[in-house]
Amino acid sequence: MNPETSTPASQSIAAPIAEVTVYTNQALVTRRGMVSLTGSERELIVSGLPLTLQTESLRAKVSGSVPVKLVGVRTEKVFASETFAKRIVQLGQQIRQLEEQQRYLRDLLRSVGLQRDFVRGLGEKSVERYSGLNSPDKISLNEIKEFLDFLGQQHGEYAKTIAQREKEQQEIDRQLEALRQQRQQMVQPAYKETLSSYKIVVSVELANPVDFELEVAYLVNRAIWTAVYDLRTSSASKRVNLRYLAEVRQKTGEDWMGVALKLSTAKPALTTMPPKLKPWYIDSLDATPAPALELREDTDFAELEALLADETDAVKKQNVVETQKVVSSLGSVVTFCVDGGCNIPADAAAHKVVIFSQDYPCRTEYVAVPRLFSFAYLEATVKNSVLGATLLPGKANIFRNNTLVGTTQLEQVAPGEEFKLNLGVDEGLKVERELVEREVELIGNYRRTTYGYRLVVTNLRDRATTIRVIEQLPVSRNEQIKVHLKSTNPPIGLGKMGQLEWLLALQRQSRGKHKRELYYQFTVEHPADLTVVSLDI
């Protein structure tokens, strides 16, 4: 019992966090604690709650063998003036201690510096005295050597001491600067507010001693979760392993340690009344635009959301919690329940939890665009199970043969829907493109240029495959410039925006028909005095 928050009619309750449901921009925190009352208490107090708590979202309930009447629940703000004053005093003491050490080191450096200068001067005078041919003192070479060794040893020891003390002085200067900045921040009015907290006061009515469980729940800001994926495939498999993860970050002011975690796409309602519609105005295009709505944004939470834009976090070391899949959906709302206790500190760092890992059937196809690249790209078409979970929008890391080949942004995929994955370049298929014909004709006032291309597609792999080859004809934006497809081999029709597309079956390299040759021809006609731009051949 806390004497500061408890009276004969009140009792302070320890109610640790038991469950957390994270939404797209906030979280619902549920605390539970066992209560033993004598019958005289009228208020139960839960202290130390963060300022991110939304007071209008507060809920409370009791459960036990004996009914307990809940009268009301409210929040009160607690200003930590005493804690603030103690911290200011502690900072002052630490600064004074470091300043004393700083003065001591300064005096010590001055003293050692004088000793070093004396030894240096003694050496210079000795060199002048004994280096002359007519030196008044008779001294042997061994004595000179011993004297020089003594000077060198003393000078080296003093230099070493000075370097060590200067390093200590730099460290003290750094610590002093940090403490002074911290003290300067603490004297700002806004800082004192951050040391405050909320307490929940639950009013009850009872006549006899009773034991029961108290549960309080509230919404907090500065919490966010996003879906991320690891997609893995291999050259020998026709399945894709999808690892569905959630990346949770929070800066709510309280750590979530050992909690039952839920992840939801719902938007929690804060009121018991249905929402009211506002007038829906429309106007003409030339009407004066209404002033933009002023958006209120929590600066700290905006910084937290900005962290999610770091895209190469595939190589970052992050906390990953293995879980089992428990999925529920209602309409467009999806909720994932994470089994086991999860630890999500309030450090704004990314903490990953694995929702589930599952294999999906896929169809693979090679795609080549010879005009841009001489190798083929591998694409996979994956189908989500009809009874599977909705795949929410999120970044996906793509691994092929245990090698990270890239990242992509996965759009929302409902159960039963298909989605495509680009699995990168496959050098087992080679595509060559060559301009074999370019002929210019003048017909009256018109110029006609004929182009012919030959494509050679070679399968270098040890198994048969299919490939889609896409070529491109120029598309005219000027009615005086005409582009005509003259011939193709094998024959195909001209697609939208000047595209040509062949679907080829190639045998493995050790057999025949592992190489196919394609050809197409087209003409560009225009007035002879007209200059055509962007015709890059």
Concatenated DSSP letters for 179-205? HHHHHHHHTSHHHHHHT-EEEEEEEEE
Provide the 8-state DSSP code for 414.
-
Q: 53 and 183, same structural domain?
A: no
Give whichever of 68-72, 215-219, 339-343 has the largest mean pLDDT: 215-219
pLDDT at 316: 41
Tell which of 170, 191, 212 closes a domain: 191
Chain Cα centroid distance, residue 403: 21
Residue 147 within any structural domain of the chain = yes
Q: Scanning the structure block, which residue is given the tokens 């003093």?
A: 158
Q: Report the range of poorest mean pLDDT among 249-253, 323-327, 394-398.
A: 323-327
- Residue pair 497/456 in contact by the 8 Å Cβ criterion: no
pLDDT at 493: 92
Give residue 22's domain range: 10-79+196-221
Q: Residue 90 has which token pair?
A: 């502690």
Q: Average the pLDDT over 190-214 and give the result.
A: 81
Residue 51 within any structural domain of the chain = yes
Provide the 8-state DSSP code for 215.
E
Q: 202 and 163, same structural domain?
A: no
Q: Helices marked H in 198-255 — which ranges?
A: none
Spatial strand order in the sheet of 69-78: 10-12, 43-49, 197-205, 69-78
Q: 177 and 161, same structural domain?
A: yes
Choice between 51 and 306, residue whose per-residue pLDDT is larger? 51
| Average pLDDT score, the chain | 82
Q: 88 and 54, same structural domain?
A: no
pLDDT at 229: 95
246-261 CB burial, b ≥16 within 10 A, e <16 = bbbbbbbbbebeebbb
Spatial separation of the C-alpha atoms in residues 200 and 167, rounded to whole Å: 51
Q: Average the pLDDT over 112-130 and give the result.
A: 76
Q: Average the pLDDT over 326-352 and give the result.
A: 80
Q: 97 and 132, same structural domain?
A: yes
Spatial separation of the C-alpha atoms in residues 351 and 343, rounded to whole Å: 8
pLDDT over 90 for what percent of the chain?
39
Residue 400 within any structural domain of the chain = no
Spatial separation of the C-alpha atoms in residues 419 and 379, rounded to whole Å: 11
Query: Predicted confidence band at 329 (pLDDT cuts at 50, 70, 90)?
Result: low
Residue 167 within any structural domain of the chain = yes
Spatial separation of the C-alpha atoms in residues 154 and 148, rounded to whole Å: 10
pLDDT at 313: 42
Q: 95 and 29, same structural domain?
A: no
Q: 105 and 48, same structural domain?
A: no
Check pLDDT > 70 for residue 4: no
Q: Average the pLDDT over 407-436 and give the result.
A: 90
Choice between 148 and 317, residue whose per-residue pLDDT is larger? 148
Q: 212 and 172, same structural domain?
A: no
Check pLDDT > 60 for residue 411: yes
Query: Predicted confidence band at 135 (pLDDT cuts at 50, 70, 90)?
Result: low
pLDDT at 521: 96
Residue 144 within any structural domain of the chain = yes
Q: 17 and 163, same structural domain?
A: no
pLDDT at 82: 59
Q: Average the pLDDT over 10-24 and give the result.
A: 92
What are the tens digits of pLDDT across the range 491-532?
Answer: 999 999 999 999 999 988 777 678 999 999 999 999 998 988
pLDDT over 70 for what percent of the chain?
82
Q: Residue 222 has which token pair?
A: 């500065």
Q: At what angle do helices 141-186 and 81-130 cross, to 10 degrees?
A: 160
Q: 163 and 16, same structural domain?
A: no
pLDDT at 436: 95
pLDDT at 449: 94
User: Kind of pairing, strands 26-37 and 17-22?
Assistant: antiparallel
Residue 293 within any structural domain of the chain = no
Q: Residue 142 has which token pair?
A: 């061994």
Tell which of 174, 191, 208 closes a domain: 191
Residue 210 within any structural domain of the chain = yes
Cis (ω within 30 of 0) for the bond into 50?
no
Residue type, 251: K
Q: Average the pLDDT over 126-140 and give the result.
A: 61
Q: 127 and 167, same structural domain?
A: yes
Check pLDDT > 60 for residue 323: no
Tell which of 146, 175, 191 closes a domain: 191
**How many structural domains are present in the chain?**
2
Q: Average the pLDDT over 34-53 and give the result.
A: 88
* Interacting residues of 257 by C-beta distance below 8 A, sequence separation 6+: 17, 341, 343, 345
Check pLDDT > 50 for residue 73: yes
pLDDT at 317: 41
Give me the DSSP letters along 303-347: HHHHGGG-TTGGGS--EEE-----EEEETTEEEEEEEEEEEE-SS
Closest CA to 473 of 490, 493, 458, 489: 493
Q: Residue 286 has which token pair?
A: 């030339």
Check pLDDT > 50 for residue 13: yes
Report CA-CA distances (Å) from 497 to 97, 230, 474. Answer: 77, 35, 8
Choice between 324 and 140, residue whose per-residue pLDDT is larger? 140
Q: 183 and 86, same structural domain?
A: yes
What are the tens digits of pLDDT across the range 305-316?
Answer: 443 344 334 334
Q: What is the pTM of this model?
A: 0.63
Q: Average the pLDDT over 214-231 and give the result.
A: 95
Residue 111 within any structural domain of the chain = yes
Q: Residue 446 has which token pair?
A: 């018109």
Q: Report the range of poorest mean pLDDT among 117-121, 227-231, 274-278, 406-410.
A: 274-278
